[in-house]
């Protein structure tokens, strides 16, 4: 059984967090501003996400990550729903996710629609080229969902 709760790890789970965003200074910035939740199976951390309040009523889901041995079992989808519920409890009306081409359909299948494109985001904000599933990332697609 998967239990989702505020992340109670003694050490920051950088392995999972950096899988979703390879730039450590971005992750550290999100950790300062956001709330970190963990998915636990038999008391072991198997997934994480962070939510950040961007502006009034708008939250952002960042660093969604599931351990590769536990992917494709619905944990990511459960974490997204949990994040949306948490944001709603905090007064959120919209959830945003910044992503790129390889995951567009994953989020679209979960109710997210295109909101804006940030040109060259992955070129301008990362110290190394970001490659996901063999694709060199350039623009960030910001998706939004009414929650
Ligand atoms: C993106 C990510 C979080 C998805 O997590 P996940 O736990 O594998 O997601 P889910 O299991 O909910 O869904 C993945 C696919 O598995 C399928 N799936 C879900 N439950 C399933 C089950 N019980 N059996 C078989 N397949 C299943 C889903 O249909 C889904 O495919 P779809 O998009 O075509 O619907 C994960 O791949 C990951 O951590 N990637 C690395 C980090 C990353 O890129 N993060 C995102 C940053 S924007």
Per-residue pLDDT in tens (0 to 9) along the chain, 147 residues:
999 999 988 899 999 999 999 999 999 999 999 999 999 999 999 999 999 999 999 999 999 999 999 999 999 999 999 999 999 999 999 999 999 988 999 999 999 999 999 999 999 999 899 988 888 999 999 999 999
Among candidate residues 76, 80, 57, the one with its CA nearest the CA of residue 65: 76
What CATH number is associated with residue 96? 3.40.630.30
Q: What pLDDT, on the 0 to 100 scale, is given for residue 20?
A: 93
Q: Which residues of 111-123 are buried (b: 16+ CB within 10 A; e: fewer)?
A: ebeeeeeeeebbe
Q: What pLDDT, on the 0 to 100 scale, is given for residue 38?
A: 97
Among candidate residues 56, 55, 133, the one with its CA nearest the CA of residue 99: 133
Q: What pLDDT, on the 0 to 100 scale, is given for residue 140?
A: 96
- CA 15-19-21 angle, 5° bins: 115
Which residue has its alpha carbon closest to ligand 1 atom 44?
20
* Ligand 1 atom at minimum distance from 67 CA: 39
Residue numbers of the domain that contains 88:
2-146
Distance 32 CA to ligand 1 centre (A): 27
Q: What pLDDT, on the 0 to 100 scale, is given for residue 102?
A: 86
pTM summary value = 0.95
- CA 24-25-28 angle, 5° bins: 85
Query: How many domains is the chain built from?
Result: 1
* Ligand 1 atom at minimum distance from 63 CA: 47
Q: What pLDDT, on the 0 to 100 scale, is given for residue 57?
A: 96
Q: What pLDDT, on the 0 to 100 scale, is given for residue 101?
A: 85
Q: In the structure, which protein residues have their CB atom closer than 6 angstroms to any atom of ligand 1?
A: 19-20, 64-66, 71-77, 99, 103, 106, 109
Q: What pLDDT, on the 0 to 100 scale, is given for residue 111?
A: 98
């Amino acid at each position: 059984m998967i239990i989702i709760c505020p992340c109670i790890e003694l050490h920051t789970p950088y392995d999972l967090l950096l899988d979703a965003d390879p730039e450590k200074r971005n992750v550290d910035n999100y950790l300062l501003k956001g709330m970190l939740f963990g998915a636990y199976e038999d008391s072991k951390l198997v997934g994480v996400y962070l939510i950040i309040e961007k502006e009034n009523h708008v939250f952002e889901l960042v660093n969604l990550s599931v351990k590769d041995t536990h992917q494709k079992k619905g944990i990511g989808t459960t974490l997204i729903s949990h994040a949306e519920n948490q944001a709603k409890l905090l007064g959120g009306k919209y959830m945003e996710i910044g992503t790129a081409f390889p995951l567009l359909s994953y989020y679209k299948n979960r109710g997210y629609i295109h909101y804006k494109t940030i040109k060259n985001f992955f070129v301008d904000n990362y110290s190394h080229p970001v490659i996901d599933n063999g694709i060199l990332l350039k623009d960030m697609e910001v998706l939004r969902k009414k929650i």
